[in-house]
Amino acid sequence: MKKILKILLAIICSILIILLGFTIYCIIITKDVKLDKNKLINTQECITYYYSNGEKMLEENCNREVVFIENVPNDVKNAFIAIEDKRFFSHNGIDVRALFRATFNNIKSFSLKEGASTISQQLIKNTHLSSEKTLKRKVAEIKLARQLEKNFAKEEILEMYLNTIYFGDGCYGIANASKHYFNKDVSELNLNEGAILAGVIKSPATYSPHNKENCYNRKNIVLSEMLKQDYITHNQYKEHKQNTCDLIIAKNEENSYLNQVKNETIKILNNKPYYSKNIKVYTTIDAKFQKILNQYPYDDNKNSIIILDSSNNVLAYYSNCNEQKRQAGSTLKPILCYAPAIELDLVSPLTKIDDIKTSFNDYTPSNYGDKYYGSISIEQALKQSSNVVAVKLLNMIGVENSLEFIKKTDFPIDESDNSLALALGSTKKGATIKEIASLYNIFQNNGYYNKPTFIKNIDDGNFTIYKNSNKKTKILSSSTTSIMNDILNKTATNGTAKKLSSLNFDLYSKTGTVGNKNGNTDAYSISYNKDYTIGVWQGNVDGHYLENNITGGGKPTSTAYNLWNEIYKNKIAPKKIPMSDDVIELEIDKISYEQENKILLADNIAPKNLTIKGLFKKSNVPNQKSSRFSSPEIENAKISVNQSGIYIQLCVKEYYGIIVYKDDFNKKIKLFDYQKSPTEVFDENYIENTEYQYSIVPYFSNGNEIIYGKEYFLDKIKTPSNKLDGDWWLDNE
């Protein structure tokens, strides 16, 4: 018993020592952390945005409106408390129960996913700290939250919180958000609208009223929490759960790029220490390019268009439906299927695959229009956007191996995306036009990928807060990207994007269409050259089908054509993207390829019309060479005799000549010499009851020299003893 008590005492002492050490550590790392009351509501903060040329784009948040807590309806206040901090009025800045629960869950998941932040902690984080998930930042947050609670009443803290939180679309504070989304003063907000605003702040990009389905689902979660905490009755919950709102969101589509710029700015600043006063944001937006997008005559469909440079800096952006995550369709095929297969030396552009209806266990993909091409080259399959071939390639590579390439980029991939449907662009999260178009930077940029961005740098007038490092990530070899560029150039010439072919400069392109047998919901055109990438999306975000069965090769590609034409109206168009030194063009035996599906190097003396050219990585060149012309051969020959004479049936290629020899009384004579082989040779000069032997020598003439093949001896044949009328050979059987 004494031994057990000693062990328990030792454990308790160890725990106390650890706690003491941790406490001392916390005191040391937060010794300089102090509450700054001037930061809690900084109404003088001003953010100025600039175009890439230094021209002022926008100045906002200067002397922004502040709402007093007594002017906030109770339903609105309660919505925020219910969803963000249900014990707000009972804790002293830290919700110990929630903190222990989050700590336990984080330990269990080996992550820092849960933060258990109270409204007081969120206010401190938004005004004093960064959003990085570190122990030091969390300890500082807790210390400052406690100081906050000692200096201000709960109603004051709630007021400051509502005036500082971010609601998306560049809206700081509930007053700005209320005006922006509902065109109302805060005092006029109802329960439904308050629940929407309370739901938005968890993730403005995800739950923004622009994304109605997500927004209303989140709103209903807020209402559910209000019901559980007795802020509303069951009847109120039922009534408002079904209600939507009249969203009066500013629809100035010409300024849609501003929302993108603002959201990226906030994301950057949320991961940096808080800066007050004047902030200057220098963007990548090119004023001239943006003007082109703003003035383009769009149709009635929803459109999102982006122009990027060769470093994936966003030069211009337009959308009449805000940023939408949609299924990417065939635009992912080059990245997920073709490029990895070429990179791993599994295929070359000339490799043929059967484009026929195929089942992969319980998954049976179909081509667009249920059209199939039979045995088709990789190059042709991508040009025609075959779904079956894409799935076969992904199956050949292995989904996990394919995902290793795209996971190095900024493209959103979920663990559940591990299926062959990924070949057709089906992902759980979907993707924006920026995320899709920026992938083609890999092909444009010699195998390297830059993370797309709207922001070059941010400063506060004294020092740099953020500077885009423009770091490159190697995704593919230069040889693979060169081959992909060649195929995508042909796609723009005579493939699904052939509407671009009439431009007087080279482009590389891929189209994509998402839909089913009832119609299409999304259509894409991605095109690029050495300098720029243009991504075009058209669709209906409410799930309706596009009119006239629009496809990626239709209106989106026409839009891309017009934009390219406008960009280079007064410019010299760039040359093709250079070919890698690790890629070689080889001549392939056309007959073996077309008739036998074999890729053999062409014979050195093969006629040009009987060869085809193909690009190959030096690491994956054909290892066999045709001897079709340097060693002519006869595949088969048969000899027979009848009353008229001796017949020789030939199976010789039409490009060969033949010499027929006859052994006549031990004397070899040249019987015939045909420069083009016939299908049959007839010899009527023979003696009865005599044995003969014939031989054939094939040859090939290229005009300068004659190459003779191996002599082919036919079976000896004996003529009958007499010539009779009729079918005498039948009588002898």
The residue whose two tokens read 């195998």 is 447
State residue 449's pLDDT score.
97
In this structure, the dihedral spanned by the alpha carbons of residues 674, 679, 684 and 690, taken in order and rounded to 10 degrees, is 100
Question: What local confidence, expressed as pLDDT, does residue 14 receive?
Answer: 66
Q: Give 302-314 pLDDT, tens digit per residue.
A: 899 999 999 999 9
Q: Kind and range of the H or E element at 611?
A: strand 611-617
pLDDT digits (tens, 9 = 90+) for 579-619: 999 999 999 999 999 999 999 999 999 999 999 999 999 99
Q: pLDDT tier at 18 (50, 70, 90 boundaries)?
A: low
List pLDDT tens digits, range 103-146. 545 544 444 455 558 888 888 887 777 666 666 667 777 777 78
pLDDT: is 190 or 113 the higher one?
Answer: 190
Give the pLDDT confidence score for residue 731 in this predicted structure: 41
Percent of the chain predicted with pLDDT > 70 = 87
How many helical (H) and strand (E) elements, i.e. helices and strands, does the chain have?
Answer: 24, 25
Residue 378, φ and ψ in degrees, nearest 5 = -55, -45
d(CA 583, CA 483) in angstroms, rounded, equals 8
Distance CA 182, CA 316 (A): 28
> Phi/psi at 107 (nearest 5 deg)?
-65, -40
Report the alpha-carbon distance of residue 647 to residue 715 in Å, rounded: 12
Calpha distance 720→58 (Å, rounded): 106
Vertex 161, ends 157 and 167: CA angle to 5°? 170
What pLDDT was estimated at residue 725? 47
User: Where is pLDDT greater, at 726 or 213?
Assistant: 213
pLDDT-based confidence at residue 10 (cuts at 50, 70, 90): low
pLDDT in tens, 473-502: 999 999 999 999 999 999 999 999 999 999
pLDDT in tens, 422-466: 999 999 999 999 999 999 999 999 999 999 999 999 998 778 889
pLDDT value at 60 more than 90? no
Q: What contacts 124, CB < 8 A, 6 or more positions away?
A: 35, 141, 144, 145, 148
For the segment 359-388, the average pLDDT, to the nearest whole number, is 93
DSSP string, 336-374: IIIHHHHHTTS--TT-EEEES---BTTB----GGG---E
Per-residue pLDDT reduced to its tens digit, 312-355: 999 999 998 878 889 999 999 999 999 999 999 999 999 999 99
Say yes or no to pLDDT of 229 above 50: yes
pLDDT greater than 50 at residue 656: yes
Percent residues over pLDDT 90 in the chain: 54
What confidence score (pLDDT) does residue 726 get?
Answer: 47
Q: Which amino acid is at 244?
A: T
Average pLDDT, the chain: 86
Angle between helix axes 191-200 and 174-182 (nearest 10 degrees) is 120
Name the range with the highest mean pLDDT among 2-11, 43-52, 219-228, 455-464: 219-228
The residue-averaged pLDDT of 8-30 equals: 62
Query: What local confidence, expressed as pLDDT, does residue 729 receive?
Result: 46
Whole-number pLDDT of residue 664: 80
In 3D space, the residue among 305, 301, 328, 334 whose CA is nearest the CA of residue 317 turns out to be: 305
Q: At 19, phi and psi to the nearest 5?
A: -65, -40
Q: Which of 205-214, 361-370, 421-430 has the lowest mean pLDDT?
A: 205-214
Please give the average per-residue pLDDT across 141-159, as a whole number. 85
Residue 374 has pLDDT above 70, yes or no: yes
Q: How many CA atoms, within 13 angstroms, populate the side-chain half-sphere of residue 291?
A: 7
Return d(Cα 714, Cα 160) in angstroms, integer.
103
